[in-house]
Structures are given as C-alpha cells and as structure tokens.
C-alpha cells in the first residue's frame, strides 16, 4: 500500500470516528410480547429501537431521535448504545459478536425529559452530558447545520437491527426474555431528485419536499435493512474537495422512514429539525 493510500485510509477512519462520536443507539425498553427477531413465537423484547444524535443547544444536552421510537416510554425506560473506544470497521451480520458489539447504557438522569414533536416524527430526550460516556461528542446543531443540495453526498452512522447479537436469553414459562447488543454501521448516499408524481402516489407516500429529501440506502446491496436507523443523523461537508477527511461536517438532517423495500431512506431536513429544537429550547444564543 502506498503512503498516499495509508493516509487516505487513516483519514477515512478519522472521519467515521468523528461521525460515530455523535451517534447514539436509542432503545425503548418498555417490554412487549410477540414474535422475536430470532423467530420465537413468544418473546419479550424492547418495544422499539432507533438511532439518535447527541446534540447541544445552548446549555441543553440531549439525544435527538424519532418520536415513534419513544412511544409509551419514560426517560428511565430508555437504553443508549454509545461509541466505545476503538475503530468502527465493517462487519457482516455473522461477524457481530458480544466482544465487538456495544453494550447499553441506562438513562439514569433523574431530570431527563422527553419532548415529542407534534408535527414531525422527531423527539428529544434531555440528559446530562456525562450519562453517555467519554467517547460521545455533543454536536452544536444550533450553529452547525445545512440542507444539502440535490446530488451532494451525505454520510450516516446508525445502529441497524440487522447488526445485533444475543447477549442473554432466559425462558420463563412460554415467554423468552432476550437481551441484545448492537454494532454500528456507516453508509453514504447522494441526495436524490424529488420523486415523480407516480412515486409520490404509490411508493413514497409520506414525502414532503419542503420537509424531506431522500437518499439511497447503500447497505441494502449487502442484504441489510435500514430498520433501526430511524433518526440517525446525516452529515454533509460543504467544503468537500475530493479528500477523504475533512473537519467541516455539518448536521444535514435525520433519517425517519424507508421506501422501496428499504433501498431508499427519507431524511428530515436539518432546517426542519432546527425549527423543532428552537420550539423546545428557544432561540439559540
């Protein structure tokens, strides 16, 4: 490998780690019974899971995630998967193990509050910065955001449910209680043109161009589904010039839903997220 290739690989990993430091897997640990991800007829498992972004707005630290992920939950019901030390490398589902997956952190902040958006699939969970561990970096969304233009590339780190590993399983009567851990994944995609009228009518039905844009979900080509990356942040570098690494990533929105069998992801524009956070926390100072 050439010296240039070494630098390129190192720069690429640095960029991924930077974005991973903002990502948080969010689990609604209100237990519900039903068929498990592993196929059991009866299993007791967390109600929902998504990905969030660790953000700061003035003096307020929070996790931004999707409103549907937090349905029926109080702050104490939430678990968070946070970046550990070490690199993020691509792993197939079969390569995710207990040793390399991320263990959950319980949200123990007694002052934590959940704020759900009444007009978009967004929610914030206020929290102390120390709750999420030393490797999480809270991004200043108030001052560092952008709505990326069509055709530009955005990057995303999330916690898809495909990247799971069984930590513990206990059977109580007819119900199996399962504990899972997860591993993050990274993907990039170009902002796609506005869907056609036919697509809006039949295939991309919840899309509003004033609020959303869409990107391809590249891991679908590797057999993965975007389930679990709800509200994973997208990032854009407006000063990108062909180099792999740049320190200028800006918050570009949050994934909320998918279309076309998981091959296309809908993203809430950063300006829309900014409006919601301003409603919750007030004008940034």
Domains and their CATH numbers in the chain: 3-281 (2.40.10.10)
Is the pLDDT at 9 greater than 80? The verdict is no
Secondary structure of the chain: what % helix, strand, coil (to 5)?
A: 20, 35, 45
Among the residue ranges 3-17, 227-241, 252-266, 269-283, the one predicted with the least confidence is 3-17
Query: Residue 42: pLDDT band by 50, 70, 90 thresholds?
Result: very low
Backbone dihedral angles phi then psi of residue 9, each to the nearest 5 degrees: -65, -45
Closest of 248, 243, 242 to residue 7, by C-alpha: 243
Q: What is the predicted pLDDT for the residue at 268?
A: 97
Cα separation, 23 vs 279, whole angstroms:
23
Indicate whether this model's pTM tops 0.85. no
Cα separation, 96 vs 103, whole angstroms:
12
Q: What is the pLDDT of residues 196-253, one digit of tens each?
A: 999 998 888 899 999 999 999 988 888 888 888 888 999 998 765 554 455 578 999 9
Among the residue ranges 80-89, 112-121, 249-258, 275-284, the one predicted with the least confidence is 80-89
What average pLDDT does the segment 180-190 reach? 80
Q: What is the predicted pLDDT for the residue at 162?
A: 75
Cα separation, 178 vs 54, whole angstroms:
27
What average pLDDT does the segment 44-48 reach? 57
Q: What is the pLDDT of residues 76-86, one digit of tens each?
A: 888 888 776 65
């Amino acid at each position: 490998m050439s010296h240039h290739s070494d630098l390129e690989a190192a720069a690429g990993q640095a960029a991924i780690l930077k974005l991973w430091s903002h990502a948080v897997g969010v689990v609604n640990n209100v237990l519900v019974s039903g068929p498990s991800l592993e196929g059991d007829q009866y299993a007791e498992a967390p109600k929902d899971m998504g990905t969030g972004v660790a953000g700061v707005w003035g003096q307020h630290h929070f996790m931004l995630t999707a409103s549907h992920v937090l349905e029926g939950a109080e702050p104490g019901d939430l678990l968070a998967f946070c970046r550990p030390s070490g690199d993020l490398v691509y792993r197939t589902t079969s390569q995710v193990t207990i040793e390399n997956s991320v263990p959950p952190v319980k949200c123990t902040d007694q002052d934590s509050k959940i704020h759900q958006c009444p007009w978009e699939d967004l929610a914030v969970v206020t929290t102390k910065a120390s709750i999420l561990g030393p490797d999480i970096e809270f991004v200043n969304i108030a001052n560092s955001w952008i709505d990326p233009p069509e055709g530009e590339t955005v990057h995303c780190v999330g916690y898809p449910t495909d990247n799971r590993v069984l930590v513990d399983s206990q059977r109580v009567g007819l119900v199996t209680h399962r504990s899972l851990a997860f591993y993050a994944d990274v993907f990039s995609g170009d902002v796609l043109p506005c869907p056609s009228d036919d697509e809006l009518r039949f295939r991309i039905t919840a899309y509003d161009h004033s609020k959303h844009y869409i990107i391809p979900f590249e891991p679908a080509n590797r057999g993965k589904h975007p389930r679990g990356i709800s509200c994973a942040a997208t990032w854009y570098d407006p000063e990108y010039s062909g180099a792999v690494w740049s320190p200028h990533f800006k918050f570009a929105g949050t994934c909320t839903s998918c279309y076309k069998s998981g091959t296309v992801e809908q993203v809430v524009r950063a300006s829309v997220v900014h409006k919601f956070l301003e409603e919750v926390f007030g004008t940034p100072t």
